[in-house]
Amino acid sequence: MLNKISTCLSMMSRITLISLFSAITLAGCEKVVDVNLKTDPPRLVIDAAINWEKGTPGNLQTIKLTTTTGYTQQTIPSADGATVTVTNSANRVFTFTEIPNTGKYTCTDFIPQINERYKLKVLYKGETYIAEETLIVTPALKDVEQTNDLGINNDEIGVKVNFKDTANQRNFYLLRTDFSENPFPEFQLFDDRFTDGNIMSWLYSHTKLAKGKILNFTQYGISENYNNYMFLLINASSGGSNGPFQVIPTKVRGNIINQTNSKNYALGFFRLSEMTKLQYTIQ
């Protein structure tokens, strides 16, 4: 019996010594390592979303130009001094003029028209970027239904936002949800391939939803190309919800083409959407 106890104490002593040695070793390895991260040359980013809210003229529109920068940089550089125009199928040119030194280019006389084809043209640092898209219609958001019994304990709140899909045509929709408890808006996509013409619903829930909290919903009509682009973007930004097997972060290319130098492509997308808004206060 004494031999067994002696053996056991010996093993414990070894384990203690190994643990102590490991702790000392790890403590001695505390050193700041500077990693030399490679930064690619700046690339133009074109945020060209033309949004026409139902019931408004839609004449005031803004296109924003920036450039990529280093990962650790705190500010995003604006792309100043560009020439930005949008042309419709009747060859009417809408000029977007820069607010000095902001990278924001505005137009005050834009004419939105459903199913009209528009062409974007950006001249920046001697290179020409172009893209074409159609302005897509969207149905109005009708109403919101609230439920208070979600979650494991049946005490979480969720809402269902309803709309009637436009019948007899393939439609794609984007929903943006703004909630004050979230630092960024949340996006959802919908394809009516199997639900043409039906009453459809967006579902939204959050653990911090409570009485008096306000949700702002914005629905956009979008093209199939933009739907596919946003699908890739959402998955890339969220890791595809695959746990340890997440999507590797990568550049997601849009519909903008550099006619001058195809290798120096721009990031971003040229999109034109009719949009509808709905605000809901949790009951």
Which amino acid is it at 265? Y
- Give the per-residue pLDDT at 243: 52
Query: pLDDT, tens digit, for every residue of 170-194?
Result: 999 999 999 999 999 999 999 999 9
Residue 75, Cα to own-chain centre: how many angstroms? 19
Q: Is residue 101 one of the residues assigned to a domain?
A: no
Q: Is residue 148 one of the residues assigned to a domain?
A: yes
Query: In this structure, are strands 267-281 and 127-136 parallel, antiparallel, or unpaired?
Result: parallel
Domain that holds residue 178: 141-242
SS3 24: helix
CATH code: domain of residue 188: 2.60.40
Residue 29's pLDDT band, with cuts at 50, 70 and 90, is: low
Q: Is residue 42 one of the residues assigned to a domain?
A: no
Q: Is residue 75 one of the residues assigned to a domain?
A: no
Contacts of 53 (CB under 8 A, 6+ apart): 274, 275, 276, 277
Residue 18's pLDDT band, with cuts at 50, 70 and 90, is: very low
Q: Is residue 188 one of the residues assigned to a domain?
A: yes
| Pair 271, 49: CB distance under 8 Å | yes
Q: Is residue 39 one of the residues assigned to a domain?
A: no
> Which three-class secondary structure string do you get for 38-73?
CCCCCCEEEEEEEEEECCCCCCCEEEEEEECCCCCC
Query: pLDDT, tens digit, for every residue of 225-244?
Result: 999 999 999 888 765 445 55
Q: Is residue 161 one of the residues assigned to a domain?
A: yes
* Total tally of structural domains belonging to the chain: 1
